[in-house]
Amino acid sequence: MKPDFWKRLAETARRAPAGPPAEMPFGFDTRVVASWRGRQEPEEALPWTLLLRGALVCASLILLLSVAMNYQALKEREPGSVAIADSAIRMSMLP
Amino acid sequence: MAEAGLDMAACLERVRQRDEDAARALVRELYPLVMKIVRSHLPRRTDEEDLAQMVFGKIFAHVDQYSGSVPFEHWVSRVAVNTCLNALRAEKCRPELRWADLNEGEAEAMERVVATAKGPDPSEQLTARELAHKMLETLLPKDRLILTMLDLEERSVEEVRERTGWSGSLIKVRAFRARMKLRKQFAKMMQE
């Protein structure tokens, strides 16, 4: 049977003394809590964000609808060639 | 230092109500446990404190999802193991270990592993541990995690299952394949 080198290595590695117990660095808990607080704030602001986003969508729809409804009127405001000719004829007929 | 006699259930309830003092007490209580897991599965070029902070970030972000069906420490261990696994996955390259990469002590330990049935001397235990971790770094993250728990921490398949959430058969199959890969790695290094 082939010798299991990994098993031998792992057995020796297991017997190695454990490192020093983990000492929490100063301020670590404060950093964790500050980061937790930082994440909470956007969550609390979420209802307002959703409301504002809805309002923006509504405003855009109203704008598009009003442009569509008044499209003809907006288009006719452009002085066409017929209108210019008509105006010129009327001017020439004036006393 | 861990606080003596922390009432975990009461502390968790306060944390759920966003009590920052309770959150600090929880960090102090769980720090040794989280750090032990982080140190066992720390990817190269990752700061252990950063990874521990990431683990605590996940614990607090998902504390509302803790149902209480298992002890809180088990749930924390699973979160920590999964965070380490994700960090290991993010480490894209897995270096191939060559004989030339070993330092003098590691090369001697390796020679003794091959030459004697007992393996390296007890004086070489720390070197053997370093070498074992170097060899594990060549494996896929999941394989590395499983072998670290089974072979270096001497945990049972059941304990690995509890900590990872993977099935027992998956753990056994992956461990078998990972050990095969390590044997091949040994053989390749010896040929160099």
- Is B115's Cβ below 8 Å from some Cβ in A? no
A9: closest CA of chain B, how far (Å): 6
Q: Record the pTM.
A: 0.70
Whether B128 and chain A come into contact, CB under 8 Å, resolves to: yes
pLDDT at B69 over 90: no
Segment of B61-65, B106-110, B116-120 carrying the highest mean pLDDT: B61-65
What is d(CA B59, CA A90) in angstroms, rounded to the nearest whole number? 83
A17 interface with B at CB cutoff 8 Å: yes
Residue B125: is its pLDDT beyond 90? no
Question: For residue A83, which amino acid is it?
Answer: A
Mutate to test the interface with B, among A7, A24, A44 (most CBs of B within 10 A): A24
Q: Is A26 on the interface with B (CB under 8 A)?
A: no
Q: How far apart are CA A40 and CA B18, in angstroms?
A: 9
Q: Are B57 and A28 an interchain contact pair (Cβ–Cβ within 8 Å)?
A: no
Cross-chain residue pair B23–A35, CB shorter than 8 Å: no
Give the confidence band of B2 by pLDDT, cuts at 50, 70, 90.
very low
Residues of A in contact with B117 (CB under 8 A): 3, 8
Instruction: Check residue A6 and give its pLDDT.
Output: 87
What does the block give as tokens for B38?
Answer: 């982080």
Interface test with A, best of B42, B129, B130 (most A CBs within 10 A): B129
Q: Is B60 exposed, middle or buried (0-12, 13-18, 19+ CB in 10 A)?
A: buried
pLDDT value for B1: 41
What's the pLDDT band for B72 if we cut at 50, 70, 90?
very high
Residue B89 C-alpha, separation from nearest chain A C-alpha, in angstroms? 23
3-state SS, one letter per residue, for B22-54: HHHHHHHHHHHHHHHHHHHCCCCCCCHHHHHHH
Q: Which of residues 21-40 of B touch A (CB under 8 A)?
A: 23-24, 27-28, 31-32, 35-36, 39
Residue-level pLDDT at A82: 75
Chain B, nearest residue to A12 by Cα: B125
* Mean pLDDT across B114-141: 80
Coil, strand or helix at B123:
helix
**Contact residues on chain A for B128, CB-CB shorter than 8 A:** 9, 12-13, 16
Question: CA A8 to CA B123: how far, in whole Å?
Answer: 15
The DSSP string of B5-23 is T--HHHHHHHHHTT-HHHH
Q: From the CA atom positions of chain A, what is the Rg in Å?
A: 39
- What value does the mean pLDDT take over residues A20-42? 85
pLDDT tens sequence across B39-63: 888 877 778 899 999 999 999 999 9
| Distance of residue B52 Cα from the nearest chain A Cα, in angstroms | 9
Contact (CB<8Å) A6/B119:
no
DSSP result, B88-130: HHH----PPP-GGGS-HHHHHHHHHHHH-SS-S-GGGHHHHHH
Rounded CA gap, B136 and A13, in Å? 12
> What pLDDT is stored for residue A9 in this prediction?
85
- Mean pLDDT (chain A, rounded): 82
